[in-house]
Amino acid sequence: MELVIISVFVMGYLAITLEHSLKLDKLIPALIMMAVCWALVALGVDHFTNWFDASKHGLVDGFAALAHDDKLHLVEETLLHHLGKTAEILVFLLGAMTIVEIIDYFDGFSTIKGYVNFKSKKKLLWMFSILAFILSAIIDNLTATIVLISILQKIVKKRDDRIWFAGLIIIAANAGGAFSPIGDVTTTMLWIGDKVSTGMLFIYLFIPSLLCMLVPTFIATFLPSFKGEIDFDEHEVIKNKSPHSARMLYLGLGAILFVPVFKTVTHLPPYVGMMLSLAVVATFAEIYSRAKFSMTDYDSAESDAHAHHSPVHHSLSKIEMPSILFFLGILMAVAALESLGILFNFADSLKQGIPLVGTELEGTLVSDLVVLLLGVGSAVIDNVPLVAASLGMFSESIDNPLWHFIAFSAGTGGSMLIIGSAAGVVAMGMEKIDFFWYLKKISWLAFIGFIVGSAAFLVIREFV
């Protein structure tokens, strides 16, 4: 039965990877994979010899000898546990996405456009790379990429020039998201799962992430594509700016930055702080839009009219629900494999199967090799299930260097192929970037950044 479940997972995963070839949204195979895997788990529960208790991070003793009803009860408890952990991530992402959409409703990101008063391609490259690095740490790498490419389209008119900037934005955004607990979905997963803390994440990963952005950008400045100047209409860049745009930009970004502080002070899950931040930003959005405060009466015609122009309702309607459902499907599908002890046993066999001499050194080298392979793998397939799998493979305590290395490797390794990260996929869609063009022109820069950042992490680890 385990082989059947693994086969379903592999086929679903293959369908996700071939999303563009199959013309099938990746949320569909993700949801099918989740439902079928858990259905097979429930139907074949009597055939399993192992069961992994995620709350205790270990195998359940004597699972095979339990009665059928007791096994089903354990399945239900485990399913509820994983749903709760997944819901924490999804609610957190919903809050962050809504705040970003509210900022965009007031054209808040147009404030950034006003700083472009030069035509040098090199200066523009550094500006967008640094902005991508900083913004992705605050509003996540996917959103930062969307925002910056949207601004880029207003400034750089030639698509042949623009796709080069977009390629470096992908690298910088993924690097910036790695050292922030809210910068990348995979890092958020590790943070919410109490594997990394905000302070240690910054200590371990800021310099490696910075180098992962700086080195490729520096090398790119010597390329012919970034020599010379661009032409743009300055009036077009700054037109249609809302009077509240700058205020909402700073308020929204500040509200998102408040979330890690709230978690540190209260020790509550991050989604609680994100909901508080969303409520504050939404209040000011309603005030600035001169809309009434009531958002609960949906029966009256007046309320319907309000919903039409309410910034909060408008922003909620813009949320990327397919992405949310995809995360639900993939995380719960991986949870099914974890619950059967498949990932746990795979980790043990992997650690024992690589022939290295030594005891403590062996464990460290094997773990490093596994994490580096995870980074390379995240360039080929989505990094969300890879990190979800690592949560079931390793049992190290919070802030163990291994978790921070996983956060960096999965976050930045995806830059090596344009399909390897959410930032790359969205840039591919916005600019119609060809897979093989990116592979030829940008991948080697991303690989250099990944290797330099990984080496920097290994050095920093020895001194922390």
Using one digit for the tens of pLDDT, what is the confidence trace for 253-262? Answer: 888 888 878 8
Q: What is the pLDDT of residue 350?
A: 56
Mean pLDDT (the chain) is 81
Using one digit for the tens of pLDDT, what is the confidence trace for 115-165? Answer: 776 778 899 999 999 999 998 888 778 778 877 887 787 788 788 888 999
DSSP string, 172-234: HHHHHHHTSTTTSHHHHHHHHTTS--HHHHHHHHHHHHHHHHHHHHHHHTTSGGGSSB----H
**Could you give the CA distance from residue 418 to residue 393 in angstroms, rounded to a whole number?**
27
Average pLDDT, stretch 336-350?
Answer: 71
345 confidence band (pLDDT: 50, 70, 90): low
Asked whether residue 111 is domain-assigned, the answer is yes
Asked whether residue 268 is domain-assigned, the answer is yes
Asked whether residue 282 is domain-assigned, the answer is yes
Question: How wide is the angle at C-alpha 114 spanned by C-alphas 430 and 288, nearest 5°?
Answer: 90
Closest CA to 402 of 358, 446, 370: 370
Asked whether residue 292 is domain-assigned, the answer is yes
| pLDDT > 90: percent of the chain | 23
Using one digit for the tens of pLDDT, what is the confidence trace for 40-66? Answer: 999 988 888 888 776 666 678 788 888
**Could you give the CA distance from residue 256 to residue 48 in angstroms, rounded to a whole number?**
44
Are 324 and 309 in contact, with CB atoms under 8 Å apart? no
Using one digit for the tens of pLDDT, what is the confidence trace for 61-95? Answer: 788 888 888 888 888 888 998 898 888 878 887 88
Asked whether residue 176 is domain-assigned, the answer is yes
Asked whether residue 44 is domain-assigned, the answer is no
Are 286 and 312 in contact, with CB atoms under 8 Å apart? yes
**Could you give the CA distance from residue 335 to residue 254 in angstroms, rounded to a whole number?**
34
Structure tokens at 140: 């996540």
pLDDT at 303 over 50: no
Asked whether residue 238 is domain-assigned, the answer is yes
Helix or strand or coil: residue 89?
Answer: helix
401 burial (CB, 10 Å; 0-12 / 13-18 / 19+) is buried
Q: Residue 60 phi/psi, 5° resolution?
A: -75, 125
**Could you give the CA distance from residue 45 to residue 64 in angstroms, rounded to a whole number?**
9
Asked whether residue 121 is domain-assigned, the answer is yes
Using one digit for the tens of pLDDT, what is the confidence trace for 229-277? Answer: 876 555 554 445 567 888 888 898 888 888 878 887 888 888 898 899 9
Instruction: Give the residue numbers spanning the domain of 218.
Output: 91-193+201-317
Domain count of the fold of the chain: 1
pLDDT at 439 over 70: yes
